[in-house]
């Protein structure tokens, strides 16, 4: 996807789904947009935006709330997906730091269980 089209998709998502950050993973015919969605957004609203993106790109779009992922999967998203929207550079840093902290807590809990 071109950077112009990517920015257009980010704009469509951010205007319709309140989210401070949007990451993108592009596969052959599917594009995943990973967001930190407002909890008031309905599945129908997400579906409608996915259909707009499909019309624009010709690819199946999936909009996924990052909270649906486990801690290690969130780190994979942050490390391997392309950040296509951030309300402010500081928001991105805070978001990344929060995901890292969640991962550290999960690993500590795992270690505590193993030690018992």
Q: In what order do the strands lie in the sheet with 30-35?
A: 60-65, 30-35, 21-26, 82-86
List Cβ neighbours of 15 (8 Å cut-off, separation of 6 or more): none
The predicted model scores a pTM of 0.75
Question: pLDDT tier at 73 (50, 70, 90 boundaries)?
Answer: confident
Q: What is the tens place of the pLDDT at every residue in 92-101?
A: 666 666 666 7
Count how many residues are written for the chain: 116
The mean predicted confidence, pLDDT, of the chain is 84
C-alpha 90/C-alpha 6 separation (Å) is: 21
C-alpha 36/C-alpha 91 separation (Å) is: 11
Higher pLDDT, 3 or 1: 3
C-alpha 47/C-alpha 43 separation (Å) is: 6
């Amino acid at each position: 996807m071109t950077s112009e089209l990517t920015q257009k998709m980010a704009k469509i998502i951010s205007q319709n789904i309140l989210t401070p950050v949007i990451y993108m993973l592009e596969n052959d015919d599917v594009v995943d947009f990973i967001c930190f969605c407002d909890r008031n957004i309905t599945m129908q609203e997400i579906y409608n935006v996915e259909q707009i993106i499909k019309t624009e790109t010709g690819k199946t779009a999936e909009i996924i709330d990052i909270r649906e992922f486990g801690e290690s999967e969130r780190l994979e998203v942050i490390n391997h997906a392309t950040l296509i929207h951030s309300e402010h550079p500081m928001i991105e840093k805070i978001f990344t730091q929060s995901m890292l902290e969640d991962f550290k807590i999960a690993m500590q809990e795992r270690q505590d269980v193993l030690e018992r």
